[in-house]
Structure 1
């Protein structure tokens, strides 16, 4: 009997490059890595191309429109790729946001029957390298879809070598141990109040005050907690701020802009409470809500969320 030998097809250099880019974005599930291309223009300027699915399991809460945080997640992934590929930030460094100001257009979020190609122009205006290896960076990102402006962001962030990060985090440095301290998720705010269809996608629990909520942590959520974290991720905090802002308004509205300062790491082992304050006047008919978050009686982050009236019908 003859034996048939099956020879695996070689992986092309293009496929290896794409895999490498996707591995840099910090997602265990590579199907959540949106990056599909990267261009190095110079040390401080790059172009990152991403592909949004027609519908995302979490970032498409409305069949007609993506969440603005799909744009923010694309910013996060673009920075992860650009700082490692062009700024020689080692891949074992830990990245953390200190400030984020983002805004996206309504038109950019409209869903289509096909994936949407988004191009991000990333410009780093400041890169400060510290003696022991930490780096502080300021980046400006502008996104476009089919050549039309889609949104922009300014991000101040830092990267730390593992040894320095572990010293900063102290007893919380072990991600698996810290992750394991999260209590079971509490009751969810009614999904319709925050523009969701399912309680599993709600990141707020109600309190006895109408303008106060607690962050609801569900470590089994495969998008928000793709792998063990040593603290609640920034994307979860932004989602919580957006949901709290939306819940605080008398009429349905969609978060489009976030002006956020991240003061401290938000831990899993203590409640984090959010308080909302309506700001005035409105900007071009768009309400603004300030969200302040406290944990152990210390402010951990604050965000001014700008919203647009939700489409009806």
Structure 2
């Protein structure tokens, strides 16, 4: 088993060398450092900024099984705390990063290949998500399954995760994606990209307090004058949702839209306990995307509310999500 972490290998204690390379007289013992923590390469998780890399290491445990480590900051510019807990969407971003990390580092997918997230599901345990006096360190068990190969190259896979913090399960989740070469991607997207219109003008945000946000710049919904419906507000200058240039709306932005729509529908500043996302086609930057939300009937006696959120462009479905929120005690 080979661990992928940063290690400093010191010289033998008591050994010093001159600038000519000859052994010098023994002096004080050279310091020994334990394994030091760093982030994984940002390119492996498709981030431009090291600050947005959540993963800190990985190692293969068995065929298709991996141990991944991660760290969440106490505060984040976008993944802000919810009722004193780490934002569940930071767990979703961590889940997303795991897939691309393992694809590149363990399944030999070259950098520059394109990834398409098919689906993602996440369940969190708020009692173990409380923001503490230090960043949250995570140990994540990952199982890769349904691995699809094409001509000895990875074409896609599904993976499941269990995220632990100090031995306690903070989240479980799964996701699947497909990947393709740049040439295949360009061929797949050629008609759409060649005929793409100008980017849509930035629309006005819904009131931040109505969608569980503080800053208007983090609001991804614009009012359209109809209850339960909004237009997706696409700000390509956003430093996290559009952390690097892309030719379509990122899946994480669609999940954030689902969360905000669920909060607006229930009118409760509540913690999302679970969310799912199924992505059926690329969401384009030059076409309005309509977001609709509706409460689902109660199916149990727990204090939760489920909201189904859908997104459409040109009357065609783009994504569907179900967000389950904790209902605050009366």
- How high is the TM-score relative to the length of structure 1? 0.88
Match of 2:127 among 104, 107, 120: 107
Q: Which has the higher helix share?
A: 1
Residue 173 (structure 1) shift: 5.1
Residue 183 (structure 1) shift: 2.4
Which one has a bigger Cα radius of gyration?
Answer: 2
Deviates more, 1:302-311 or 1:158-167: 302-311
Match of 1:195 among 200, 212, 224: 212
Other-structure match for 2:5:
none
Per-residue displacement from partner, 1:284-311 (whole Å, max 9, x unpaired)? 1110001111101101110111111358
Query: Is 2:233 aligned against 1:213?
Result: no
Match of 2:57 among 28, 37, 41: 37
Within 2, Cα distance between the matches of 1:134 and 1:88?
8
Within 1, Cα distance between the matches of 2:123 and 2:83?
21
Cα pair distance change 1:173/1:129, threshold 3 Å: farther
Other-structure match for 2:270:
253
Per-residue displacement from partner, 1:216-236 (whole Å, max 9, x unpaired)? 011111011111111100100
Match of 2:305 among 287, 293, 312: 287
Within 1, Cα distance between the matches of 2:134 and 2:66?
26
Other-structure match for 1:5:
none
Per-residue displacement from partner, 1:135-191 (whole Å, max 9, x unpaired)? 1211111111101111111112111111111111124558xx97x943232111110
Other-structure match for 2:21:
none
Within 2, Cα distance between the matches of 1:111 and 1:230?
35
Per-residue displacement from partner, 1:263-289 (whole Å, max 9, x unpaired)? 000000010001111101154111000
Within 2, Cα distance between the matches of 1:132 and 1:160?
13
Cα pair distance change 1:95/1:43, threshold 3 Å: farther
Within 1, Cα distance between the matches of 2:303 and 2:40?
44
Deviates more, 1:270-279 or 1:54-63: 54-63
Which sections of structure 1, spanning at least 5 residues, go unmatched? 1-11
Mapped contact 1:182–1:219 kept (Cα < 8 A): no
Cα pair distance change 1:62/1:304, threshold 3 Å: closer
Match of 1:156 among 176, 183, 190: 176
SS in 2 for 1:73: helix
Which sections of structure 2, spanning at least 5 residues, go unmatched? 1-32
Per-residue displacement from partner, 1:198-221 (whole Å, max 9, x unpaired)? 100101001121110111011111
How many residues are paired up? 296
Cα pair distance change 1:219/1:192, threshold 3 Å: same
Within 2, Cα distance between the matches of 1:143 and 1:225?
26
- How high is the TM-score relative to the length of structure 2? 0.83
Mapped contact 2:210–2:267 kept (Cα < 8 A): no
Query: Is 2:253 aligned against 1:233?
Result: no
Within 2, Cα distance between the matches of 1:213 and 1:26?
29
Mapped contact 1:61–1:197 kept (Cα < 8 A): no
Mapped contact 2:82–2:271 kept (Cα < 8 A): no
Within 1, Cα distance between the matches of 2:240 and 2:145?
31
Within 2, Cα distance between the matches of 1:102 and 1:21?
25
SS in 1 for 2:45: coil
Within 2, Cα distance between the matches of 1:131 and 1:254?
44
The alignment yields a C-alpha RMSD, in angstroms, of 2.4
Other-structure match for 2:142:
122
SS in 1 for 2:123: strand
Match of 2:43 among 19, 23, 46: 23
